[in-house]
A and B are shown apart, each in its own frame.
Chain A
Amino acid sequence: MAVEQNRRDFLGMAFGGVAAVGGVFALGAMKQTWDPLPSVQAAGFTTVDLSPMKPGEFRTIEWRKKPIFILKKDSNMEKNGNRDVVVDGSEYTVVIGLCTHLGCIPAWKPNEQKFHCACHGGDFDVSGVNTFGPPPRPMDIPPFKIEGSKLVLGEEGPEYDKLVGNA
Chain B
Amino acid sequence: MAQIKKANGLVDWLDQRLAVRSLTRVLMTEYWIPKNINFLWAMGVVLSVLFTLLVVSGIFLLMYYKPDVNYAFDSVNYTIMQEVAYGWLWRHMHGVAASAVFLVIYIHMFTGIYYGSYKKGREMIWISGMLLFVLFSAEAFSGYMLPWGQMSYWAAQVITNLFGGIPIIGDALVVWIRGDFAVADPTLTRFFMLHVLLLPLIIMLVIVIHFYSLRIPHVNNETGEEIDYDIEAEKYKAGDKKESKVIPFWPVFLSKDFFVVSIFMVFLFYLICFHYSFAIDPINFEPANPLKTPDHIYPEWYFLWSYEVLRGFFFDVGPIAAADIGLMAFGFANVAFFLLPFLDRSDVVAPAKERKKFNLWFWILIADMIVLTIYGKLPPTGANAWVGFFAAMVFIGLFISLPIITKGETKGGAR
Which residues of A approach B to under 8 Å, CB–CB?
31, 34-37, 40, 43, 60, 62, 64-67, 100-105, 107, 117-121, 133-137
Contact = CB atoms under 8 A, between A and B. Distances in A.
Interface string B313-338: 11000000111101000000000000
A119 B297 CA distance: 6
Interface stretch (B25-33, B93-101, B176-184): B176-184
B182 A66 contact: yes
Contacts of A137: 321
A35 B291 contact: no
B328 to A, nearest CB: 13
A65 B293 contact: no
B355 interface: no
Contacts of A65: 180-182, 184, 290
11 contacts: A34-B179, A40-B180, A43-B181, A65-B181, A102-B157, A103-B161, A104-B157, A104-B158, A119-B296, A134-B313, A136-B322
A90 B176 CA distance: 38
Contacts of B158: 102-104, 119
B323 A40 contact: no
B228 interface: no
B17 interface: no
Interface in B145-160: 154, 157-158
Interface stretch (B129-137, B366-374, B379-387): B379-387
B175 interface: yes
A136 B179 contact: no
B181 to A, nearest CB: 5
A43 B179 CA distance: 13
Contact of A40 (B161, B181, B291, B385): B181
A101 B379 CA distance: 16
B183 to A, nearest CB: 9
B122 interface: no
Contacts, number: 90
B323 A104 contact: no
B141 to A, nearest CB: 14
B381 A121 contact: yes
Contact of A118 (B175, B293, B322, B326): B293
A36 B297 contact: no
B186 interface: yes
- Specify which of A36, A43, A120, A137 lies most central, judged by the most chain B CB atoms within 10 Å of its CB: A120
Nearest to A41: B181
A135 B316 CA distance: 10
B311 interface: yes
Contact of A104 (B154, B176, B177, B324): B154
Nearest to A40: B180
A4 B118 CA distance: 48
B314 A134 contact: yes
B190 A105 contact: no
Contact of B295 (A40, A43, A118): A118
A120 B179 contact: no
B292 interface: yes
Contacts of B379: 118, 121
Contacts of A64: 181-182
Interface string B285-316: 00000111111110000000000000101100
B296 A118 contact: yes
A121 B322 contact: no
A121 B162 contact: no
Nearest to A64: B181
Interface string B64-102: 000000000000000000000000000000000000000
A99 to B, nearest CB: 9
Contacts of A135: 323
Contacts of A31: 176
Contacts of A43: 181
Nearest to B385: A121
Contact of B292 (A37, A40, A105, A119): A105
Interface string B245-256: 000000000000
Nearest to B313: A134
Nearest to A120: B311
A100 B186 CA distance: 23
Given A40-B181, A64-B181, A136-B323, A102 B314 contact: no
A35 B180 CA distance: 8
Nearest to B382: A121
A57 B45 CA distance: 61
> Nearest 10 A-B pairs (CB), nearest first?
A136-B321, A65-B182, A103-B161, A105-B293, A104-B293, A102-B158, A102-B161, A136-B323, A134-B322, A121-B380
Contacts of A67: 290-291
A63 B311 CA distance: 29
A60 B162 CA distance: 25
A38 B175 CA distance: 13
A120 B178 CA distance: 22
Given A34-B177, A36-B175, A121-B381, 12 more contacts: A34-B176, A37-B186, A64-B181, A101-B323, A103-B161, A104-B157, A118-B379, A119-B297, A120-B380, A121-B314, A136-B321, A137-B321
A36 B179 contact: yes
Nearest to A103: B161
B157 A62 contact: no
